[in-house]
Amino acid sequence: MIRVEREDLGALALGCALLGSGGGGATTQLELLAAGGAWPVDVHAVDAVDPATPCLAVALAGSTMVMTERLPGTDRLSAAVAAAERWLGCEVPAVCTLEIGGLNGLTALVAAGGRAVVDADCMGRALPGIDQVSLLVDGLPGLVVATTTGDGVGVVDRPRPADAEAVVRAALRLSGGTGAVVVAGFTVGDLAEHAVVGTTSRALSLGRGFLAARESAIGELAAAVGGRLLAQGRIQAVLTDPVDPQVQAFDLVDPGGAVHRLVTRTETLALMTDGVLVSAAPTVLAVLDVRTRAVLQISDLSPAHHIAVVELAAPTWWTARPDRLRRVTPAAYGVADLEPDLAR
Amino acid sequence: MTGLDLTALLAEPANGALRHVAGPDEGDWPTALLALTEELLETAGAGRLAVVATPLPREPWRVDALLRRVHERGYSALAVPGAERLDAGARRLAARIGLAVLAVERPVELAETSWRLAVARDALVLDLVRRLTVAFRHPARDLADLLSHLAAAAGAGVALLDATGVVEEHGGELAPWLGGHADLVRWDRWTDIVASPEMSVATVRVDSPSRPGLRLAFFAPGIRDAQVDALAVAAEIAMPAVAARILIDEVNTVTDASVSSDLLHDFLVSGDAHHEDVDRRMTERGWRTTGYHLGFRVIGRTRVDTLALLRAVSGALGPLGIESHAAAHGQGVTAWLRWVRIPARRDLERHVHELRAVHETLRRSFNVASGVGSLQAERAGLAATIGEAGDAARIAAQRSATNWFVRVDGLGLEQLLLARTENDTFLPAAESLLAPLRGDDDVLLTTLTSYLDHESGIAATADALGVHRNTVTGRIQRIQETLGVDMHDPSVRLALHLACRAVLR
């Protein structure tokens, strides 16, 4: 068990932002919401909780851009949680976050409401799709997905990953672009095998390491969070893919002359240097502002911005099996020729 | 040099629309290798040029990866369709890894040309010869037409040179380069090759008895030895055709000139009487007698080459944009302008002015005098205005003051005025008035006359006298001071003008 104090909130949020891999949304609003809650918060390790304990995975979903305009609150999360519990017919005493990367890293803390917070999540980083929720990817039986609609909650019982994605996407459109998603119908014991465990503590230690080394050279900062500095330079051009406009390639001018391409979609997907693929999803590629050391979202990037790309290890849950991996490599988003070499 | 290089490839006409896009902009490669896709390229590049037929992918990272793979297989250059869309990052990468990237629209054509350049040099010559023989099959109108056919067939520039420079050129510009490098061409040689980075020229002497000292040149910028050698062969093969054409053109010109000269003569002697045979021949030549005509006659003040003069007059009248005809006639050239409807007075004056300009242009090459008739209508008028122009030209031959140019319209009044001044009272008065200006060579008197003739125009006077404008200004000031008259007074100017004419008569 780790006890998170209120003063740890900043470090935790920073760690979540790093795991956001350039996406997942800015954590500011959730930090403010969480700051108003009860402190300290105990985050229980998965193996410290009775494996038979029913558990919920919660998240805010939809456009992170819209969330900066329409501030997210707990009422939507509560409505979705209530619907899931009504469907299951019991109170669920444990909660974890659906996605540790980005703003959702703090959602479990905000939505706990007296439930035990479990140190695990269903993505291990930020990912754009509900079909990329680990529980759904593994095809765990008995799952239920609840998602807010225009003025209510939609519940999908025992969905296939693609069904869950399609229904949630439709519901989010009705609810104005953002909403809450709750996955239920599993136990804490299921998390040990079908989710990424220890991610809240990973985010906290990343955040602490980052804060401690914030003023040092960018390479040392990367090393302090257990990562690797892959590239830094000025954004020379942003090329948008003509077929999928969400796919962008940032042309970085390296002071040493190397040609870097940071390929992104909702998150960073890959980094290529001098025509050689250096790193690709599901490896986390966090983007930092070289001057302010801020952890950047892709929407923050623009020409002439001086940035650094820091590689953090991919959650091993994804890389352990080929059927999991193929859901999170660049090819899963239709981006060709950037498949990571896992023999590395 | 062995194999291929970029400059030579860019200079080839059939290079598949090759353009340099990124990376080193020069280099030579042993050969080129064509493959449908980049994956199918041979693994050992050995410094060759890789020609890939499949366009580059649209994603910039895939382009980067492709450039990298081609480079790592050992190729020095890559020609591929769509390379012109390379973004700044890929261009930096190409420069960084030293891979020349070329855009090509027709990769197969490029591969074929590369093969010919690098391996099969005889194929280059044979191909050129074959194309030239095709060019000979098309009848040419004249020499210029033949040269442009040759240029199109050879895909190179073709020029005729003489000791002064370029006489004719087609398919390229040799004159600017030749201006600075004329001494490189060895005139005593039968064939000669000059190869320099900016221009390569293969020349051969033209065996023409009527126009000696000509050379036929095939030229192209940036080509290499194999290509120039092929052009030299092309020049040798084309030369007899060019020599024959020069002869044919000359015979044609002489025949044509003599036919039109005869016809003009027949027309003028036939007078008012309609002569069926003359009318038919005139219609055949496109000489119509209806409408309005203005005669123009140019005669030599000394002996001139009538044929050359006819060429010059025809050439100068063409750009006026009016229907004009010219024919050699006696010791000169007779020409006329024709309008269907009567031209406005202002337009007519403009055209007479243009004829004066034509005369002045001719004066640069020939010692001639010109006369212009008055505007006349129909068949009888044509004969009349030609007659007037002839009279005016004869008078002009004696008139240095009008720069050997006289127009009949102005003649009547002036003659009348001059006739009035020939009495005993006017002439002595005029002579005493102008006496201070007389000297050994009458330079001041001539200047004053010319100045008044040119409506007090300093520039025109200077042109007519062949001196600097400041010289004219100085002389006019001296004249004013010497005579003590006010040249701005119209009546003073008229008196002076008449006096000058009477004294100089």
Q: Is B225 on the interface with A (CB under 8 A)?
A: no
Q: What is the structure's pLDDT at B418?
A: 57
Coil/strand/helix, residue A323: helix
Q: Is B474 on the interface with A (CB under 8 A)?
A: no
Count of pairs with CB atoms under 8 A, one residue in A, one in B:
64
Q: Is B184 on the interface with A (CB under 8 A)?
A: no
Q: Is B345 on the interface with A (CB under 8 A)?
A: no
Cβ contact A274–B64 (<8 Å): yes
Is residue A193 domain-shared with residue A264, that is, in the same domain? Answer: no
Q: What is the structure's pLDDT at B304?
A: 85
> Which pTM value belongs to this model?
0.63
- Nearest CA to B327 among B376, B272, B285? B285
Residue with tokens 């970029």: B6
Q: Is A48 on the interface with B (CB under 8 A)?
A: no
- Asked whether A179 and A61 are in contact (CB, 8 A), the reply is yes
Residue with tokens 């391996």: B119
Q: What is the mean pLDDT of residues B306-326?
A: 86
- Asked whether B66 and B93 are in contact (CB, 8 A), the reply is no
User: In a mutagenesis test of the A interface, which of B61, B63, B86 is the best target, namely the one with the most A β-carbons within 10 Å?
Assistant: B61
A80 belongs to a structural domain: yes
Domain end (from A199, A225, A241): A199
Could you tell me the fold of the domain covering B4-118?
3.40.1390
Q: What is the structure's pLDDT at B423?
A: 60
Q: Has residue B275 got a pLDDT over 80?
A: no
- Sequence-distant (6+) residues with CB within 8 A of B216 are B158, B159, B160, B161, B203, B204, B206, B235, B238, B239, B242
Residue B115 to chain A, least CA–CA distance (Å): 30
Q: State the CB neighbour count (10 A cutoff) for residue B391.
A: 16
A207 belongs to a structural domain: no
Q: How far apart (Å, rounded) are the C-alpha atoms in residues A301 and A285?
A: 14
Q: Is A245 on the interface with B (CB under 8 A)?
A: no
DSSP assigned state of B395:
H
Q: What is the structure's pLDDT at A170?
A: 94
Q: Is B89 on the interface with A (CB under 8 A)?
A: yes
Is residue A189 domain-shared with residue A272, that is, in the same domain? Answer: no
Contact residues, chain B, for A236 at CB < 8 Å: 88-89
A77 belongs to a structural domain: yes
Strand-pair partners of B298 = B333, B370
Q: Is B39 on the interface with A (CB under 8 A)?
A: no
If one compares B498 and A46, the residue with the highest pLDDT of the two is A46
Domain end (from A199, A229, A264): A199
Which residues form the domain of A19? 2-199
Contact residues, chain A, for B85 at CB < 8 Å: none
Q: Which residue of A has its CA nearest to B71?
A: A275
Contact residues, chain A, for B62 at CB < 8 Å: 336-337
Q: How far apart (Å, rounded) are the C-alpha atoms in residues B360 and B281?
A: 32
- Sequence-distant (6+) residues with CB within 8 A of A318 are A124, A282, A324, A325, A327, A328
Is residue A161 domain-shared with residue A12, that is, in the same domain? Answer: yes
End-to-end Cα spacing for chain B: 76
CATH class of B288-408: alpha beta
Helices and strands per DSSP (H, E), number in chain B: 18, 18
User: Range with the lowest mean pLDDT among A201-210, B182-191, B409-418?
Assistant: B409-418
pLDDT band at B1 (very low <50, low <70, confident <90, very high): very low
How far apart, in Å, are the Cα atoms of A228 and each of A17, A102, B157, B276?
17, 20, 61, 105
The three-point CA angle A22-A184-A106 to 5° equals 35
Cβ contact A274–B88 (<8 Å): no
For chain B, the structural domain boundaries read 4-118, 121-247, 288-408, 422-504
- Report the CATH number at residue A303: 2.40.390
CB-nearest to B97 from A243, A263, A274 is A274
Q: How far apart (Å, rounded) are the C-alpha atoms in residues B307 and B130?
A: 38
Q: Which residue of B has its CA nearest to A270?
A: B61
Q: Is B458 on the interface with A (CB under 8 A)?
A: no
Is residue A91 domain-shared with residue A182, that is, in the same domain? Answer: yes
Q: Has residue B411 got a pLDDT over 50?
A: no
Q: What is the mean pLDDT of residues B279-294?
A: 86
Cβ contact B97–A263 (<8 Å): no
Contact residues, chain A, for B89 at CB < 8 Å: 236-237, 251, 259, 261
A317 belongs to a structural domain: yes
Tell me how many domains chain A contains. 2
Q: Which residue of B has its CA nearest to A234?
A: B89
Q: How far apart (Å, rounded) are the C-alpha atoms in residues A157 and A183?
A: 10
Give φ, ψ of B292 to 5 degrees. -115, 140
Contact residues, chain A, for B68 at CB < 8 Å: 274-276
CB-nearest to A242 from B58, B71, B92 is B58
R_g of chain A, CA atoms, integer Å: 19
User: Range with the lowest mean pLDDT among A125-129, B155-159, B384-388, B436-440?
Assistant: B436-440
**Please, is A101 exposed, middle or buried when counting C-beta atoms within 10 Å of its C-beta (0-12, 13-18, 19+)?**
buried
Q: Is A143 on the interface with B (CB under 8 A)?
A: no
Cβ contact B96–A259 (<8 Å): yes
Q: Is A261 on the interface with B (CB under 8 A)?
A: yes
Residue B62 to chain A, least CA–CA distance (Å): 7
Q: How far apart (Å, rounded) are the C-alpha atoms in residues A270 and A276?
A: 11
Domain end (from A165, A199, A233): A199
The CATH label, of 3.40.1840.10, 3.60.21.10, 3.50.50.60, 3.40.50.360, for the domain at B121-247 is 3.40.1840.10
pLDDT band at B97 (very low <50, low <70, confident <90, very high): very high
Q: Has residue B228 got a pLDDT over 90?
A: no
Q: How far apart (Å, rounded) are the C-alpha atoms in residues A62 and A175?
A: 9
Q: Is B68 on the interface with A (CB under 8 A)?
A: yes
User: In a mutagenesis test of the B interface, which of A244, A252, A261 is the best target, namely the one with the most B β-carbons within 10 Å?
Assistant: A261
With residues binned 3-state (H G I as helix, E B as strand, rest as coil), the percentages for chain B, rounded to 5, are 55, 15, 30
Is residue A9 domain-shared with residue A157, that is, in the same domain? Answer: yes
Give φ, ψ of A202 to 5 degrees. -65, -45
**Please, is B481 exposed, middle or buried when counting C-beta atoms within 10 Å of its C-beta (0-12, 13-18, 19+)?**
exposed
Q: Has residue B413 got a pLDDT over 70?
A: no
Residue with tokens 């221009």: B199
CATH architecture of B422-504: Orthogonal Bundle (1.10)
Q: What is the structure's pLDDT at B416?
A: 45
Residue pLDDT, tens place only, B343-363: 888 888 888 889 988 998 888
Report CA B428 to chain centroid distance, whole Å. 53
- Asked whether B329 and B316 are in contact (CB, 8 A), the reply is no
- Nearest CA to B300 among B274, B327, B333, B261? B333
A341 belongs to a structural domain: no
Cβ contact B59–A337 (<8 Å): yes
Residue B80 to chain A, least CA–CA distance (Å): 17
Q: Which residue of B has its CA nearest to A276?
A: B65
User: In a mutagenesis test of the B interface, which of A247, A259, A269 is the best target, namely the one with the most B β-carbons within 10 Å?
Assistant: A259
ipTM: 0.88
- Nearest CA to A318 among A29, A100, A59? A100
Q: Is B98 on the interface with A (CB under 8 A)?
A: no
Cβ contact A249–B60 (<8 Å): yes
Is residue A189 domain-shared with residue A320, that is, in the same domain? Answer: no
Give φ, ψ of B52 to 5 degrees. -110, 130
Contact residues, chain A, for B87 at CB < 8 Å: 237, 239, 251
Q: What is the structure's pLDDT at A74?
A: 87
Q: Has residue B417 got a pLDDT over 60?
A: no
For the beta sheet containing A259-264, the strands, ordered from the edge strand earlier in sequence to the opposite edge, are A276-280, A268-273, A259-264, A248-253, A228-240, A306-312, A284-289, A295-296
Is residue A122 domain-shared with residue A165, that is, in the same domain? Answer: yes
Is residue A140 domain-shared with residue A265, that is, in the same domain? Answer: no
Q: What is the structure's pLDDT at B110?
A: 92
Q: What is the structure's pLDDT at A180?
A: 94
Strands A144-148 vs A284-289: parallel, antiparallel or unpaired:
unpaired
Is residue A195 domain-shared with residue A221, that is, in the same domain? Answer: no
Strands A94-97 vs A116-121: parallel, antiparallel or unpaired:
parallel
- Report the CATH number at residue A116: 3.40.1610.10
Q: How far apart (Å, rounded) are the C-alpha atoms in residues A92 and A115?
A: 8
Cβ contact A336–B59 (<8 Å): yes
Contact residues, chain A, for B65 at CB < 8 Å: 272, 275-277, 337
Q: Can you list the positions of beta strands (E) in B282-437? A: 292-300, 323-328, 332-339, 368-372, 376-377, 405-407
Residue with tokens 């006819």: B310
Q: Is A242 on the interface with B (CB under 8 A)?
A: yes
- Per-residue pLDDT 10s for chain A (344 aa) are 899 999 999 999 999 999 999 999 999 999 999 998 888 999 999 999 999 999 999 999 998 888 888 877 889 999 999 999 999 999 999 999 999 999 999 999 999 989 999 999 999 999 999 999 999 999 999 999 999 998 899 999 989 999 999 999 999 999 889 999 999 999 999 999 999 999 999 999 999 999 999 999 999 999 999 999 999 999 999 999 988 999 999 999 999 999 999 999 999 999 999 999 999 999 999 999 999 999 999 999 999 999 999 999 999 999 999 999 999 999 999 998 999 886 44
Cβ contact A258–B96 (<8 Å): yes
Q: State the CB neighbour count (10 A cutoff) for residue B467.
A: 16
Strands A54-62 vs A94-97: parallel, antiparallel or unpaired:
parallel
Give φ, ψ of B392 to 5 degrees. -60, -40
